[in-house]
Amino acid sequence: MLVALASGLVVLSALSALILTTLHGSARVTARVHATERARIVLTRLMEELHSSCIMPEIAPIQKASTGNSLEFVHQIGSEVAPAPIISVISYSGGTLSQQDYNATGASPNWTRSSAIGGPRTLLTSVSPTAPSSSIFSYYRYAGGTISTTALPTPLESEAALTVEVHAALTAAPETTPVKDANASASVQNSATLRLTPPSFNEGSPARPCQ
Query: Can you give the pLDDT at residue 116?
Result: 92
Q: What is the pTM of this model?
A: 0.79
Cα angle 60, 61, 63; round to 5: 95
pLDDT tens-digit readout, 147-177: 889 999 999 988 888 899 999 999 988 876 5
Contacts 24+ apart (CB under 8 A), 38-42: 38/124, 38/172, 38/174, 38/175, 39/124, 39/127, 39/170, 39/171, 39/172, 39/186, 39/188, 40/188, 42/97, 42/123, 42/124
What is the C-alpha separation between 28 and 194, in angstroms, rounded? 37
Confidence band of 72 (pLDDT split at 50, 70, 90):
very high
Q: Which residues pair with 128 in a beta bridge?
A: 171
Q: CA dist 100 to 147, 164, 204, Å?
A: 29, 22, 37
Which pLDDT score is estimated for 83? 61
- List, for residues 179-193, the tens digit of each pLDDT value: 555 567 888 999 999
CA–CA gap between residue 19 and residue 157 (Å, rounded): 57
- pLDDT tens profile 85-104: 889 999 999 999 999 999 98
